[in-house]
Structure 1
Amino acid sequence: MRDNHDMISPFGVRLSVCTAALAAALGAAVVSAPPAAAGPEYPVVTDAGVASVTGDMQPAEMSPPGANVKGCRSEKTPVVLLHGTAQNQMSAWQYLAPTMANRGFCVYSLTYGQASWSAQIGGLAPREKSAKQVAALVDRVLASSGAQQVDLVGFSQGSAVAQLFTQLPGRAAQVRHLIGMGPSNRGTSTVGSIADRLPARAPGENDWGPLHSSIQYLMVMTRHDEIATPYRHGFLPKAPNVRNVVVQDHCPNDTVGHVGLPYDSWVGATVMNTLTGNTAKPRCTVGFPL
């Protein structure tokens, strides 16, 4: 149980509200990305540490800027963002959601996997339940947008939940791209084996079931990951529709860690380029090192 003064960070670090407020006052880097044509300009948070701490203090229902905008219309495929373990949508997506919205994407997110004791924090319930929550969101997105498919972008456990969703009957056909940041497709040495799979892994498959030839997969890893370890466990089996990317193969000086992946501008640009077919090389930066 947490009291009124302490809170748990996404990876088990207890921080005081006062510390969070001080961090917000001293270190929050908020910038504005170029707006989409005829659309609002949403504020973009670039500091992963501040976003993680302050975001987890927000209600589970609170959407990051640019996400879940009623009546959003775009020629681009709708994008569904799925946060990681012990997070909510605000702690994970205060950079990518507004950045994508400012570039003309219709972006959707939710806080999935809340437990009876976890208050506003998600990613803690059985993944089978979480995959069904994602299914309900996808149904709403397709109905409201008129689109036939969505693009799924998951961070950490969110990548696994995205893959579990595609194993549900009829759901793979609803997904165009599936992108994972810091995934643990073959388990992680820091967490141990993960048993709640849907369906169980067959020989030669990743932990989250078979891949689908109709889906384009992109997995983005960092060599400095201290959560999803070893980082090579994020690789999916080689296939024509699979692309495995390690940040440092393209940006050797980028020391971004696990928490920083959704806030790394090179990673974000790579995600958007993948979804739009843009072949330009993103500019390298140095991301949040944890």
Structure 2
Amino acid sequence: MRSKKFAAILASLTTVAATAFAGVSAAPAHAVEGDAPVPPEITMPGSPDGIPSAGNGPQKLFTYPASLYSLAHPGTNPQGANDFGCKPREGDNPVVLLPGTNSDAYASWSMYSPKLTKLGYCVFSPNFNGLKALPNFAYTGDIRVSAKAVAGFVDRILEATGSTKVDIIGWSQGGGPLPNYYITKLGGDKKVDKLIALAPSNHGVGPKAVSAFVNKAVDQTKHEQIETAFAKANIASYEQQLGSSRFNKELYGNGPVTRPGIKYTIIEGRYDDTVVPFTNAFLYEPGVTNILVQNICPSDHASHINFTYDVNVYQMAVNALDPDQAKPVVCAPQPFLG
């Protein structure tokens, strides 16, 4: 009976993370020489030292085709990303694209990377800490470990480009707890200029019933057993993103998570079916601009899973990246893809 209950919890938690089921060209990207190697236990197939190195994949228009391509071609690089010889234009920072849970650089950013590169940005996106049996399922492991890996990745970017700070665009975990842990716990407050968060899982994913059961209904011993089991399976981030998890309380429950000098933009849609309720994405803290997509584009029905392929959200993200050159968003109807 106990094992059946745990299996049910595991199945529910798996559904709340952003799922990614679904010819390679160009030379693979490489890190600068002399980089400290990433521990093998958090290295993903095709991504030595976290860098997708299996060649560039085609630009996709929806998340599911991108995810299927990434599953079939582990370590696919989003077009234009991870060129460590790129030098940002004066006034620009390197742009780091952080994927969501159960996703990787290509599946999350196959649309963004070539577009941002064409705009003249130096774009980077890493793969870390996932399920090697499903090579497109990155960022399933402990968020603290992923944040440490991202910290090293950012340091490599700053060294290679000669920059002092980066701008981060992140989706789901990659826009919420992952960069916020890096910023508040690992010195990222000195290395990040802008954090542009797309549907970030800041105050927890749903369903609420699962969160309440795991974190409130069970006693401390059973809670620790659940955390241990998830950690051993390298899916700790599933449990950590529940609204009342110990990790969530540690990160968001001790005063403001924002830091002075960083410009935060949060973009979220009311049809998000993973960050539930959708208002969990927002931070009402100093330095934060919260944007509800439907206040600008009422016909946008994009769900969580397709948020990084929403052309309206993309325009809002680009405006946040360079607010001095912001342009009116040209809205296009977006379907709900669950």
TM-score interval (norm. to shorter): 0.7 to 0.9
User: Which aligned pairs between 1:28-107 and structure 2 lie closer than 5 A?
Assistant: 44-59=59-74, 61-75=75-89, 76-107=92-123
Separation in structure 1 between the aligned mates of residue 153 and residue 69 of structure 2, nearest angstrom: 25
Tell me which residue corresponds to 1:218: 265
Paired position in structure 2 for 1:196:
247
1:209-261: CA deviation from partner (whole Å, max 9, x where unpaired)? x210111001111111111111000010142x110111111000111111221
- Of 276, 296, 299, which residue of structure 2 is paired with 1:250? 296
Change (3 A) 1:128 1:203: closer
Equivalent residue, structure 2, for 1:148:
164
* Larger fraction in strand: 1
Alpha carbons of structure 1 residues 274 and 11: separation in structure 2 relative to 1, 3 Å: closer
Deviation at 1:272, TM superposition (A): 1.3
Larger Rg: 2
Higher helix content, 1 or 2? 2
The Cα of 1:166 is off from its aligned counterpart by: 0.4
Residue by residue over 1:56-89, the C-alpha shift from the partner in whole angstroms, topping out at 9 and shown as x without a partner, is 3331x33111100231122121000110111111
Query: Contact 2:181–2:251 at 8 Å: present in 1 too?
Result: no
User: Given the alignment of the two structures, is residue 133 of structure 1 paired with residue 184 of structure 2, yes or no?
Assistant: no
| RMSD of aligned alpha carbons | 2.4
Percent of matched pairs sharing the same residue: 28
Equivalent AA in structure 1 for residue 261 of structure 2? S
Q: Distance in 2 between matches of 1:181 and 1:246?
A: 11
Is the 1:260–1:287 Cα contact (8 Å) retained in structure 2?
Answer: no
Q: Distance in 2 between matches of 1:204 and 1:168?
A: 13
Question: Is 1:176 the equivalent of 2:193?
Answer: yes
Equivalenced residue count is 251
Q: Is the 8 A contact 2:21 2:67 kept in 1?
A: no
* 2:166/2:194 contact within 8 Å kept: yes
| Kept after mapping to 1: 8 A contact 2:168/2:195 | yes
Paired residues of 1:164 and 1:197 also in contact (CA < 8 A): no
Length-normalised TM-score, structure 2: 0.69
Alignment match, 1:31: none
Q: Given that residues 56 and 90 in structure 1 are in contact (C-alpha distance below 8 angstroms), is that contact kept between their aligned partners in structure 2?
A: no
Measure the CA separation in 2 of the matches of 1:169 and 1:51: 31
The TM-score, its normalising length taken from structure 1, stands at 0.79
| Pair 1:83–1:167, CA change in 2 (3 A) | same
Task: Please say if residues 266 and 285 of structure 1, whose CA atoms lie closer than 8 Å, have aligned partners that are also in contact.
Answer: yes
Unaligned runs of 5+ in 1: 1-7, 16-41
Alignment check: 8 A CA contact 1:64 1:98 kept: yes
